[in-house]
Amino acid sequence: MSTTRRTALAALAAVPLATALAAPATAATARHDRRTLFVAGDSTAAQKYLDAKPETGWGMALPLFLSDRVRVANHAVNGCSSKSFVDEGRLDTILAAIRPGDLLLIQFAHNDEKSADPARYTEPWSTYQDHLKLYVDGARAKGARPVLATPVERRRFDGDGNSLPTHGDYPAAMRALADEEGVALLDIQALSLALWRKLGVEETKTYFNWTATEQDNTHVNPPGAIAVARLVAEELRGRSVLPARDVRRLGDAVDELDPAWQSRLTWLTGTTPA
C-alpha cells in the first residue's frame, strides 16, 4: 500500500466518532465547548483493525477517561518512529487539522530504537530530540499545546521478577527536551514500569497480547490498554494539561478486567494497512 493511501486511511480512522455523529453546530460553539486531543505515536497507542484483535492501542481506551468536551483524534500508526511519522506526511496531516486550544500528545521511541532501519532510526540525544521538536514547534505555531509522553514500557523481567526498562536513553532524552522547551511531560515509561512491577511476571500476561499463538511483550490487549490509558489520563490531570472536570473515572471507577468495560473498545473493520 502506498504511503499516500496509508496516510489517507490513518486520517480517516482518526476522525472522532463523536464528530461524525454530532448535530451541526456553529464554529464558535464547537471551539468554546470542545477541543481535540491529537495523538501522534506508534503501535502501542494506535487504533487497531479487526485482524489484530485482541491487540489494542492505549489510544483506543483513552476516551473512557475523558469528558465529552475532549475528543480524541488518534493518528498513531503501527511501525512509525518520530522520524518516519514526519517523513510520511502524518505530522503535516495533524497540523492541517489542529486548531488553537487543541492538544498534541506525542509518544515515540519503540521504532526510533531500530538502528538497523535508517528510515526509522533516530539517536536519542540528537535526531530523536530534533524530530520531537518539530512536533512541539508545529503545535505551538498553530496555537495548540504540545504534550510529550515517554513510551510505555515493554513486559520484561529479570530472574528475580523485577520489571526492567527497555528504552535506553530515549525516555531521558525526552524528559530533557521537555524541560528545555517548557513542555508538559507525561512520564508513562516510569509509571508503566512501576505498574508491571506491581503486577508481576504472571499477572502482566493478562495485560499484554498473549494468546494461544502469540506471546507479545510489546503490545497490550484490552485490559492493558485501559490500564495504560488510565495512567495517561491521570498524568493529563496531574500535570494540569487538562482540568479535573475533563478527566473522569480515575481510581477504581473502571475495572480493566471487567468485560463490560472492554466491550466499549472498538476495532476498525478490515485489516491493518501494511
pLDDT tens series, the chain, 274 aa: 444 434 444 444 454 433 333 333 334 334 456 899 999 999 999 999 999 999 999 999 999 999 999 999 999 999 999 999 999 999 999 999 999 999 999 999 999 999 999 999 999 999 999 999 999 999 999 999 999 999 999 999 999 999 999 999 999 999 999 999 999 999 999 999 999 999 999 999 999 999 988 999 999 999 999 999 999 999 999 999 999 999 999 988 899 999 999 999 999 998 877 6
pLDDT for 251 equals: 85
pLDDT for 120 equals: 98
Bridge partner list, 105: 39, 147
Bridge partner list, 49: 268
pLDDT for 3 equals: 44
pLDDT for 176 equals: 98
pLDDT for 212 equals: 87
Q: Rounded distance, CA 137 to CA 143, Å?
A: 10
Q: Rounded distance, CA 135 to CA 83, Å?
A: 11
pLDDT for 20 equals: 34
Q: Rounded distance, CA 77 to CA 38, Å?
A: 13
Q: Rounded distance, CA 179 to CA 160, Å?
A: 34
pLDDT for 271 equals: 86
Q: Rounded distance, CA 122 to CA 112, Å?
A: 5
pLDDT for 32 equals: 52
Q: Rounded distance, CA 192 to CA 46, Å?
A: 17
